[in-house]
Chain A
């Protein structure tokens, strides 16, 4: 399955009778399953490394922070969520003129920033600020490096989130969040929310395991 926009599909083809076959619903689920396998194959080492940093942070009495661009992840991982290990605190940026400040972040803290792709200016600002404050920063997002003509860099520095963080975990989500393209004028089916959340919970699980191995308790 290609992760590209279908482009202009003739109207006649669009309205053709769809053959009896596996429907787009199962196509979508298969697409997600392929992405999951790709993340396990290519990004699991990074998830493990990020978890080690988080364990070191908590072991030294420092704080782990998390923010996500929105849609599902921000609400899915909220405090009070059933079965949520209390690893991350929500990162609360404050505006400072045209810049952003992170008043709660301290040197030695650990920050995870979830982006849809890799170009959200506010998240690049937060990553730069967190690093300036002496925190270790991990980005979760989909690298759109191969599609810069379609999804251009927006930050004034010309940098992407991947460029400015200590570690970037790629969700391998499709260009523009359109997983399915066959017979469509534009790609359909976002996967960034599902993948960002999966990586977040997997990371939490790995951190908990690291804490237990060190004989430490999950923060209350």
Chain B
């Protein structure tokens, strides 16, 4: 129920509430994801990220303050995947046929799968991505993705999956940095191109990453 709060503030509150809830209820999923990815990359596998709309993929690959080891999965058929890889997917709904197909292909090829998605599917959904992947993470989004009610408007507006899934994907990567440190390894991190000395730093990181794979 709305009080006098601005819709803008309600949106901020919703994002904050989802992140608080995730931290309290699913922090162990960060650890599980990080271990899964660390096991893969330290055994010669690759860490892929995929989302159909490419927003999350774009957010965490080739990105200032991000990991060199995160690679964008361009082909939704899964042709780039091989045994020992791990793919972290972000989905705006759990019953998308192409997402489900990609997860199944990944499993067939011997790659591990992580998915961040809404556990609450539309009632008509018969299958869900969460039942197929190795690790499923709930982003708490509502069916239709909108979170703000507007009088006279038929459906809720302003989606949460983009913001929440991106934050969770970053948190997984952060946990991975920690997990690698526990194993005596240092993850390679991009320096923003806007920063002084970024070209030299990023070239050095690329060189080290090529040798080590993480």
- Greatest chain A CB density within 10 A among B55, B162, B191 is at B162
Contact segment of A90-98, A104-112, A206-214? A206-214
Does B209 count as interface, using CB distance less than 8 angstroms? no
Does A124 count as interface, using CB distance less than 8 angstroms? no
Q: Are A119 and B12 in contact (CB under 8 A)?
A: no
Q: Are A40 and B12 in contact (CB under 8 A)?
A: yes
List the A side residues contacting B8 at CB < 8 Å: 44, 47-48, 51, 202-203, 205-206
**Interchain CA distance A18-B158 in the complex, whole Å:** 39
Does A190 count as interface, using CB distance less than 8 angstroms? yes
**Interchain CA distance A51-B173 in the complex, whole Å:** 34
Does A149 count as interface, using CB distance less than 8 angstroms? yes
Contact segment of B40-48, B99-107, B174-182? B174-182
- Tell whether A28 pairs with B170 under 8 Å between CB atoms, given A176-B195, A202-B8, A202-B12: yes
Closest chain A residue to B153, Cβ basis: A218
B124 to chain A, nearest CB (A): 16
Q: Are A150 and B177 in contact (CB under 8 A)?
A: no
**Interchain CA distance A90-B19 in the complex, whole Å:** 29
Contact of A176 among B146, B182, B192 (CB under 8 A): B192
Does B6 count as interface, using CB distance less than 8 angstroms? yes
Contact segment of A59-67, A76-84, A131-139? A76-84
Give the number of residue pairs across the A-B interface with Cβ within 8 Å.
Answer: 228
- Tell whether A25 pairs with B65 under 8 Å between CB atoms, given A48-B6, A151-B192, A176-B194: no
Does B53 count as interface, using CB distance less than 8 angstroms? yes
List the B side residues contacting A150 at CB < 8 Å: 195-196
**Interchain CA distance A180-B27 in the complex, whole Å:** 18
List the B side residues contacting A123 at CB < 8 Å: none
List the A side residues contacting B150 at CB < 8 Å: 208-209, 212, 218
What is A's interface to B at a CB cutoff of 8 Å?
14-18, 23-30, 32-33, 36-37, 39-40, 44, 47-48, 51, 70-76, 78, 81-85, 116-117, 119-120, 144, 149-152, 154, 176-180, 183-191, 193-194, 197-198, 201-206, 208-209, 212, 218
Kindly list 10 other residue pairs between chains A and B, CB separation below 8 angstroms, not including A28-B171, A193-B59, A194-B59.
Answer: A17-B182, A27-B174, A36-B15, A48-B8, A176-B192, A180-B174, A188-B66, A189-B170, A205-B11, A208-B7
Can you show 17 pairs from A to B with CB atoms below 8 A apart? A29-B167, A32-B167, A71-B58, A76-B55, A78-B53, A81-B159, A82-B92, A83-B146, A149-B196, A178-B189, A188-B187, A189-B65, A193-B63, A194-B166, A197-B162, A202-B7, A205-B8
